[in-house]
Amino acid sequence: MRKIYILIIGLLLIPVALWSQQESNFVFRDNHGKAVYLPLGKISFADKVHSFHLGFPRPLTIFRDSTQSLGTPDYVDYRQPDFVSIGCGGQLILTFNDNGFMNLKGDDLYIFEVGPSREGVRVEISMDGERWHYAGATSGGKSMINFSDFRIPADQIYYYVRLTDLKDECTGRTAGADIDAVAAINSVIKLTLNADVLFDVDSTYLKEASQATLDSISSLLKGVRSATILVEGHTDSDGEAQYNYDLSYNRCYSVVQKLKALLIDDSPFAFEIKALGELSPRVPNDTEGNKQLNRRVEITVLPPGTYYENIRE
Domain boundaries, the chain: 40-185, 189-308
CATH architecture of 40-185: Sandwich (2.60)
Cβ neighbours of residue 40 closer than 8 Å, sequence gap 6 or more: 13, 14, 15, 16, 99, 184, 187, 189, 303
pTM: 0.82
CATH of 189-308, one of 3.10.20.600, 2.60.120.20, 3.30.1330.60, 3.30.200.100: 3.30.1330.60
CB 178 within 8 A of CB 92: no
Per-residue pLDDT tens digits of the chain, which is 313 residues long: 444 333 333 333 333 333 344 456 788 988 878 899 887 778 789 999 999 999 999 999 999 999 999 999 999 888 889 999 999 999 999 999 878 899 999 999 999 999 877 889 999 999 999 999 999 999 866 799 999 999 899 989 999 999 999 998 888 889 999 999 999 999 888 899 999 999 999 999 999 999 999 999 988 888 776 788 999 999 999 999 999 999 999 999 999 999 999 987 666 789 999 999 999 999 999 999 999 999 999 999 888 787 787 776 5
